[in-house]
Amino acid sequence: MNPIAGTDIALLAVLGALLALDQDAGLGLQLSQPLVAGALAGLLLGRFEAGVAGGALIQMIWIVTQPVGGARIPDLALGGVCAVAALPSGATLGTWLQNDELAVAGVLGVLAAFGGGALLRLQRRIQSRLASRATKGALRGETGAVAALQRDAIVLHLLRGGASTALVAVLAPVAAAWALELGLRLPVGGAGLGLASVALLRATPRLRLPWLLLGALLGVVLGVA
């Protein structure tokens, strides 16, 4: 497993900073969906197919999420980028569902996503403190305090996203090499697809047989084609 070069880590950190804004600051362009984030990370690292494979696995695990109110959503963008960093540079989409190196990438991606979620909750606790000062200012009619709160929060998002992405870009290849040496090799593509199917079926209120049959037919036709 080759470590990622310093310039690539810097590029990934910039990407991670932007993904944090997209995911947690309300930009909402969905660049931070693991499939898209993985593809972008793959493009930056010059291994698009590995990027899509890693991102697709994390996307399959968390394909339906509801970021409403204070819901504890993991950092899916960080999970996607971590999975890409953990995959070997030669990984291709040809047989990726059967690739037994995907398990390590998936496990590290899931752990990074949980870790990133915890970091976001920590940031929001910091923002609570900043906001109490800004609220006092706003109640005195000072608009500068509100603008400062927003500016500080955006800087915190950029720093958190950039730093956490750089950290996983450094650690993921090392951890993946270590886990593969220990023998963690499983073709988990089917497991990801199974989880995605359950989540998607539960996301729809009524299971209509004709549409399920149409899906099965589409799967067979595309699979044979």
Partner 1 sequence: MERPPLAVFWRTCMLDASWHPERMQGGGYLYALLPALARAEDPAAATRHHTVTFGTNIYVAPAVIGAVAQLELQGERGAATRVRDWLAAPLSGAADLFYWGALRPALMASALVGVVFGSPALAVAAAWLLFNITATWGRWRCFRRGVAASARLLQERERVRPPRSWIVPLHRIVLIAAVALPVLAIVRARFAAASLLDMGLALGVGYYAARRQVSPGIAFLVLVALGVLMQRLELPTGWNR
Closest listed residue to residue 75, CA positions, set 9, 15, 19: 19
Name the burial class of residue 163, with classes exposed (0-12), middle (13-18) and buried (19+) by CB atoms within 10 angstroms of its CB: middle
Q: Between 2 and 222, name the residue whose CB sits nearer to partner 1.
A: 222
Q: Which stretch binds partner 1 (CB under 8 A): 1-9, 10-18, 165-173, 182-190?
A: 182-190
Q: Which stretch binds partner 1 (CB under 8 A): 7-15, 83-91, 164-172, 198-206?
A: 198-206
Query: What part of residues 49-68 is at the interface with partner 1 (CB under 8 A)?
Result: 49, 52, 56, 59-68
**Does position 215 bind partner 1 by CB under 8 A?**
yes
Enumerate residues 6+ apart whose C-beta is below 8 A from 191. Answer: none
Binding mask 146-165 for partner 1 (x = CB under 8 A): xx-xx-xxx--x--------
Please state the closest distance from residue 53 (CB atom) to partner 1, in A.
8
The alpha helices in the chain, defined as continuous H runs, are 6-24, 34-45, 48-61, 76-86, 102-139, 143-182, 189-203, 209-224
**Does position 177 bind partner 1 by CB under 8 A?**
no
Please state the closest distance from residue 225 (CB atom) to partner 1, in A.
8
**Does position 127 bind partner 1 by CB under 8 A?**
yes
**Does position 44 bind partner 1 by CB under 8 A?**
no
**Contact between 35 and 55 (Cβ < 8 Å):** yes
Q: How far is CA 193 from the centre of its chain?
A: 17
Q: What is the CA radius of gyration of the chain?
A: 20
Intra-chain end-to-end CA distance of the chain, in Å: 34
User: Which of 45, 103, 168, 176 forms a contact with partner 1 (CB under 8 A)?
Assistant: 103
Please state the closest distance from residue 6 (CB atom) to partner 1, in A.
28
Closest listed residue to residue 164, CA positions, set 58, 19, 7, 6: 19
**Residue 125 and residue 153: Cα distance in Å, rounded?**
11
**Contact between 80 and 74 (Cβ < 8 Å):** no
Please state the closest distance from residue 119 (CB atom) to partner 1, in A.
14
**Residue 189 and residue 183: Cα distance in Å, rounded?**
17
**Does position 28 bind partner 1 by CB under 8 A?**
yes
User: Which of 124, 163, 171, 180 forms a contact with partner 1 (CB under 8 A)?
Assistant: 124
User: Which of 9, 113, 175, 176 forms a contact with partner 1 (CB under 8 A)?
Assistant: 113
| Token duo for residue 195 | 């989880």
Please state the closest distance from residue 202 (CB atom) to partner 1, in A.
5
User: Which of 5, 6, 90, 93 forms a contact with partner 1 (CB under 8 A)?
Assistant: 93
